[in-house]
Chains A and B, each alone.
Chain A
Amino acid sequence: MSKLLSIRLVAIIVGLGFTVAVLWAFVSGALAVIQEGELKPATAEHEFHEYPKQYAWSFDGPFGKWDTGQLQRGFKVYNEVCSACHSLNYVAFRDLEALGYDEGQIKAFAASKQVPGIDPQTGEATSRPGLPTDYFPSPYPNAVAAAAANNNAIPPDLSLITKARHDGTNYVASLLTGYREVPAELKKEFPDFALSPTGHYNPYFANLGLAMAPPLTSAGQVTYDDGTEATVEQMSKDVAAFLAWTAEPTMVKRKQTGWPVLIFLLFATVLAYLSKQQIWAAAKRKDD
């Protein structure tokens, strides 16, 4: 008994030790808050950052499907605008089949791109026309070149961008349409706030100053083949949808696989419940 008592005594002392230590930290934190007069200092980034606009996407929700027309338009926007600076490393030309292109179109498109290759005669590094099995080539030979061409801000690879940001598809569309002048209220509230010399004000970007200049600036910048009017918002939405596809080409298949699995499981669970009820019915009575 005395041994057990001593275990508990040690526990109480240790427990009080941790409690005093953490409350000590609490008091010093609370004193700092009282001195500052506020819980946390207000920053322009915190006050003026906006959450992405909420768009309706064809692939939203448990029954969502790709809108291949939109994906083709978005692909065109990527190809004609974004691909000048942004790579798409994890997407191969062959993947474009999912967008509704046939083999001939994919072969022709791949051949229109130069990919790194090796000269079969000399073994020297060279470039050759792409094949459907090749991946989208990067606009820069390496990260140093990408940084050098862009004021040290390396344009991120776009393959996974919509999965790599909170609410990514809405984020991309919001960001592309979100460029504006620094608001007057911001200048009034935070006179010290200054964009970096190469920054462009965008409330959807975490620190409000985006290195990328507005890429989509005028309606009709990309000519759509299907007659859709190419407004800046339309192009932004289309390319965001395309990037949602590049981030997870299997998304629609995933959702469509999910339904039979859940329906089967629901059926199995109801059966399991009924058999459990039947087996237990006997045990509820006082039979022994």
Chain B
Amino acid sequence: MSFPWAKEYTPTNPVMKFLDEKLPLPRLVYNAVGAGYPVPRNLSYFWNFGVLAGFFLVLQIVTGVVLAMHYAANAQVAFATTEHIMRDVNWGWLMRYAHANGASFFFIVVYLHIFRGFYYSSYKAPREMIWLLGVVIFLLMMATAFMGYVLPWGQMSFWGAKVITGLFGAIPLIGEPIQVWLLGGFAPDNAALNRFFSLHFLLPFVIAGVVILHIWALHIPGSSNPTGVEVKSESDTLPFHPYYTAKDGFGLGVALLLYFGLVFFLPNYLGHPDNYIEANPLSTPAHIVPEWYFWPFYAILRAFTADFFFIPAKLMGVLAMFSAILLWFFLPWLDKSPVRSGHYRPLFRKFFWFGLIPAMAVLFYCGGAPAEEPFVMLSQIATAYYFLHFLVILPIVSQIEKPEPLPYSITEAVLGSDDKAVLGENATPAV
């Protein structure tokens, strides 16, 4: 499961020797994120975000477990216990702000991780399984974050829960019974709050489990890299420790500076004021918006404003919103270009920077804006591009594009020459 030149774990300390014989946990760590894992030597800072995502998952679990000790999932007191945490619990305000902004940072690093994957086609063979598990993690994260936002039982908690569970009501015939079953009632109340708390506590551990599978699957082909050329020889790689532990350490420092800057100085910047008003089923907020990390998908949901033949607009929007993420599962088989990295794909690169990124930016902005013109029309155009990009442009581009010549090896890309490079071997793209 690794390259033949990977360093082997050789304990010298008798305790470690004993442990290695009985339960080789240090060996596992050594081979997973230690000197025993050879990694391409040319990884850019875009390869930091996996480790950062792992860090924020652990941070969320730790702060979340502490918060759960002081929180009560009961519609009568949930809002008050949240304020109790903010006012009376020692360092409770820090735990809550760290958890709320930790969710935002978890999404920031995961979005960067995903877009790294889009640009460098990290989803392509032999890494399909890593990608599929990653999409599963992202879906679990969305569910967890949504249910977590309901727990403070503010106005946005309540109305967000109502809108999102209402989406299931769009399913013909069985939609409404499903919605009632999910909520345990006709509107969000105690039953919904309790089950959301239960699932919000459970799902992070499910995510942690899938993360282990994600990393396991990663260690079979090894990490991808910015050239997209696979590792050929030992000179293409460096041991994860100390090279990438040091690089990730620096990346973590920068991320934590930004994160704690937000936690201590602008803790409510990414939140919504309405969530400091206790949930009131009789008073609908003027604009119901989800948290920022859902905005692009919320914009896709709201873009479908007209019935399409026999499909009601709402159902169409729900189908589109779920499809917008589910289609990521098919990327490895839609993009058949033999070249992975966007660096060597001139046509793909244009569509990425001048198509996908602006479309996502527009969807992001419009998802947070009120549902009025011109935001609706803008999000309709961006939604059209989003689906065209992944489902039409990507398959066609990979067919017609003429990729630029690839370096012979990672060594050549980094150091300018590779003794092993043989003239003519570049005629076929190395994959």
Identity of the chain A residue whose Cβ is nearest the Cβ of B385 in the assembled complex: A19
Give which listed residue, B246, B374, B377, contacts A276 with CB less than 8 A. B246
Give which listed residue, A4, A90, A279, A283, contacts B83 with CB less than 8 A. A90
Give which listed residue, A23, A33, A168, A275, contacts B380 with CB less than 8 A. A23
* Bound Cα distance from A4 to B268, whole angstroms: 48
Give which listed residue, B234, B333, B391, contacts A288 with CB less than 8 A. B234
Identity of the chain B residue whose Cβ is nearest the Cβ of A280 in the assembled complex: B243
Kindly state whether residue B277 has any CB partner on chain A within 8 Å: yes
CB within 8 Å of A: which of B256-276?
Answer: 256-257, 260-261, 263-265, 267-268, 273-274, 276
Interface SS of A by simple majority: helix
Give which listed residue, A24, A160, A259, A279, contacts B308 with CB less than 8 A. A24
A276 touches B303 (CB 8 A): no
The number of chain A residues with a CB under 8 A from chain B is 60
B273 touches A168 (CB 8 A): yes
B261 touches A262 (CB 8 A): yes
Give which listed residue, A156, A163, A279, contacts B273 with CB less than 8 A. A163
- Chain A residues whose CB sits within 8 angstroms of the CB of B268 once the complex forms: 163
Kindly state whether residue B383 has any CB partner on chain A within 8 Å: yes
Kindly state whether residue A194 has any CB partner on chain B within 8 Å: no
Number of CB contacts from chain A to chain B under 8 A: 171
The segment from B57-65, B105-113, B247-255 that touches chain A is: B247-255
Give which listed residue, B254, B261, B277, B330, contacts A269 with CB less than 8 A. B254
Give which listed residue, A95, A164, A206, A266, contacts B276 with CB less than 8 A. A164
> A12-B392, A250-B86, A265-B253 given as contacts; is B383 within 8 A of A22 (CB)?
yes
Kindly state whether residue A213 has any CB partner on chain B within 8 Å: no
Interface SS of B by simple majority: helix
B265 touches A258 (CB 8 A): yes
> A12-B392, A269-B254 given as contacts; is B260 within 8 A of A258 (CB)?
yes
B86 touches A26 (CB 8 A): no
For residue B392, give the distance in angstroms from its CB to the closest CB of chain A: 4
* Bound Cα distance from A62 to B267, whole angstroms: 12
> A62-B265, A261-B264 given as contacts; is B41 within 8 A of A283 (CB)?
yes
For residue A214, give the distance in angstroms from its CB to the closest CB of chain B: 23
> A11-B391, A26-B380, A269-B253 given as contacts; is B235 within 8 A of A288 (CB)?
yes
Chain B 389-401, CB within 8 Å of chain A: the 1/0 string?
A: 0111001100000
Kindly state whether residue B384 has any CB partner on chain A within 8 Å: yes
> A25-B380, A39-B374, A276-B250 given as contacts; is B257 within 8 A of A8 (CB)?
no
- Chain A residues whose CB sits within 8 angstroms of the CB of B273 once the complex forms: 163-166, 168
Kindly state whether residue A248 has any CB partner on chain B within 8 Å: yes
Kindly state whether residue A15 has any CB partner on chain B within 8 Å: yes
Can you list 27 A-B pairs, Cβ within 8 angstroms, ordered by A? A11-B330, A11-B391, A15-B390, A22-B320, A22-B383, A22-B384, A23-B380, A24-B308, A26-B381, A29-B376, A33-B373, A39-B374, A40-B373, A156-B277, A164-B274, A249-B87, A254-B264, A257-B264, A258-B264, A262-B264, A269-B254, A269-B257, A272-B246, A273-B250, A276-B250, A280-B247, A288-B234
> Chain A interface (Cβ within 8 Å of chain B)?
4, 7-8, 11-12, 14-16, 18-26, 28-30, 33, 39-40, 62, 89-90, 95, 156, 159-160, 163-166, 168, 206, 247-250, 254-255, 257-259, 261-262, 265-266, 268-269, 272-273, 275-276, 279-280, 283, 286, 288
Apart from A15-B390, A26-B381, A286-B417, list 20 A-B contacts with CB within 8 A: A8-B395, A11-B330, A16-B388, A19-B388, A21-B316, A23-B384, A25-B313, A29-B373, A29-B377, A30-B377, A163-B268, A164-B277, A250-B87, A254-B93, A262-B257, A262-B261, A265-B260, A272-B249, A276-B247, A280-B247
> Chain B interface (Cβ within 8 Å of chain A)?
41, 80, 83, 86-87, 93-94, 97, 234-235, 238, 242-243, 246-247, 249-250, 252-254, 256-257, 260-261, 263-265, 267-268, 273-274, 276-277, 286, 303-306, 308, 311, 313, 316, 320, 323, 327, 330, 333-334, 336, 372-374, 376-377, 380-381, 383-384, 387-388, 390-392, 395-396, 415, 417
